């Protein structure tokens, strides 16, 4: 099995590289320097020369949720147009495309977890552009897996765990919102799920009923304040750090966030026999690496 990993410098891309190596899977990994997926001609030229892959995994995205509110064109180029270009290329060379999406395509007004059939209604530009990317892929190329994930963290790049670890070093008291629900998810868990799916499809054949949208998140459900509190406790600093709980209205941001980001995982568990990982255990692993 041979994979093309797009977005090699991001959290999920780096985790995919590690997971591929651990499973002795052949892969090629590219970042923007090797392949700028926002340029149609660059995508076409790349695949004309490199298309002997069993799966293409798109882990590249514009993920700065607040910056996307002002940098709309950049967000749309990376999250929507690039997906269209990749879908067209993968269709031309008959390569299944696995694409990472987000819980932020939902508005958060539902009282229970969102399943794959729920109607998206994004509240911010990031979610809107990610949904546009999903729709491009669905319309162009049937051999696709769209994997929606939530609250991704790792030892790589910028993410909530690293932010809280840094705050703990600098401040004795800080505040975190406690009225947004979701499931923190390790980038390593996401990479593991993607490899499981690739292996399953590779070994069992590309049956049509496998393609489509799936949700994955670690468990259990929590809120940002509880997440931050666990990070602080896990870090075990010598000083006492207090994490205050506030409401979203007390911490205004450029982009609106959904109050409920809970994802229903029944479909991915049933189809691919995926087991959820415990995010608290994943946090412990990550903090030891930071």
pLDDT of res. 188: 98
C-alpha dist (Å) from residue 290 to 68, 121, 150, 280, 286? 27, 36, 21, 16, 6
pLDDT of res. 239: 77
Counting residues of the chain whose pLDDT is more than 90, the rounded percentage is 96
Pick the CATH number of 2-159+185-218+262-277 from 3.40.50.1220, 3.40.50.720, 3.40.50.2300, 3.40.50.1370: 3.40.50.720
pLDDT of res. 13: 99
pLDDT of res. 208: 78
User: The whole model's pTM is what?
Assistant: 0.97
Checking if the pLDDT of 290 tops 90, the result is no
Res. 126 pLDDT band, cuts 50 70 90:
very high
216 included as an active-site residue: no
Mean pLDDT computed over every residue of the chain: 97
Catalytic pick among 27, 126, 214, 216 = 126
Counting residues of the chain whose pLDDT is more than 70, the rounded percentage is 99
pLDDT digits (tens, 9 = 90+) for 179-207: 999 999 999 999 999 999 999 999 987 67
pLDDT of res. 158: 94
- Give the span between the Cα atoms of 216 and 206, in whole angstroms: 21
């Amino acid at each position: 099995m041979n994979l093309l990993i797009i977005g090699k410098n991001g959290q999920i891309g780096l985790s995919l590289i590690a997971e591929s190596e651990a499973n002795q899977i052949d892969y090629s990994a590219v970042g923007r320097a090797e392949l700028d997926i926002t340029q149609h001609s660059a995508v076409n030229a790349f695949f004309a020369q490199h298309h002997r892959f069993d799966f293409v995994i798109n882990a590249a995205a514009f993920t700065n949720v607040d910056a996307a509110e002002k940098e709309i064109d950049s967000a749309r180029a990376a999250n929507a147009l690039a997906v269209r270009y990749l879908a067209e290329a993968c269709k031309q060379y008959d390569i299944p495309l696995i694409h990472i999406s987000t819980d932020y395509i939902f508005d958060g007004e539902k009282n229970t977890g969102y399943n794959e059939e729920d109607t998206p209604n994004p509240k911010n530009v990031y979610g809107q552009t990610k949904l546009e990317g999903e729709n491009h892929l669905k319309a162009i190329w049937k051999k696709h897996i769209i994997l929606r994930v939530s609250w991704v963290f790792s030892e790589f790049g910028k993410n909530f765990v690293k932010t809280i670890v840094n705050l703990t070093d600098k401040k004795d008291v800080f505040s975190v919102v406690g009225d947004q629900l979701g499931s923190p998810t390790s980038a390593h868990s996401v990479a593991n799920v993607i490899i499981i799916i690739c292996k399953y499809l590779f070994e069992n054949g590309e049956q049509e009923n496998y393609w489509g949208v799936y949700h994955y998140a670690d468990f259990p459900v929590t809120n940002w304040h509880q997440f931050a509190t666990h990070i602080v406790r896990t870090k075990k600093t010598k000083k006492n750090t207090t994490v205050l709980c506030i409401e979203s209205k007390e911490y205004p941001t450029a982009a609106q966030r959904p109050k409920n980001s809970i994802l229903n995982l029944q479909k991915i568990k049933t189809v691919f026999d995926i087991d959820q990982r415990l995010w608290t255990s994943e946090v412990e692993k990550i903090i030891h690496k930071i």
